[in-house]
Amino acid sequence: ITLDSFMIEHPESSFMLRVKGDSMIDAGIHEGDFVIVERTQEAKPGSIVIADIDGAWTMKYLRKNGKQLYLEAGNKKYKDLIPKESLSIAAIVTGVVRKYG
């Protein structure tokens, strides 16, 4: 079995990113892990996304309150991120890869 055949449904629009920080640890995503992401502009609330919020890139849960989209960390010590100017979704997280040792 290969990682590509098991984890990647759309290889032409998918790539991997190395995780920095601990804002998604409650989602099982830890610093040093790799996330498999798929480029998209259409993400649903509840998805883990790679987003540009007010000029800063981050990985968080996409949430919606009424018409307002915002980002929520998977770690209670971080506050919600509500865009002041812009929120652009670049990709959704489709998998996590962790190497031990």
Q: Two tokens at 71?
A: 């980002």
CB 30 within 8 A of CB 18: no
Active site residue 86: no
From the candidates 5, 13, 14, 23, give the one annotated as an active-site residue: 23
Q: Two tokens at 56?
A: 């800063």
Active site residue 23: yes
Collapsed DSSP state (helix, strand, coil) of residue 13: helix
CA distance 21 to 23: 6
From the candidates 13, 14, 20, 60, give the one annotated as an active-site residue: 60
**Beta-carbon-side half-sphere exposure of residue 89 (alpha carbons within 13 Å):** 22
Catalytic positions: 23, 60
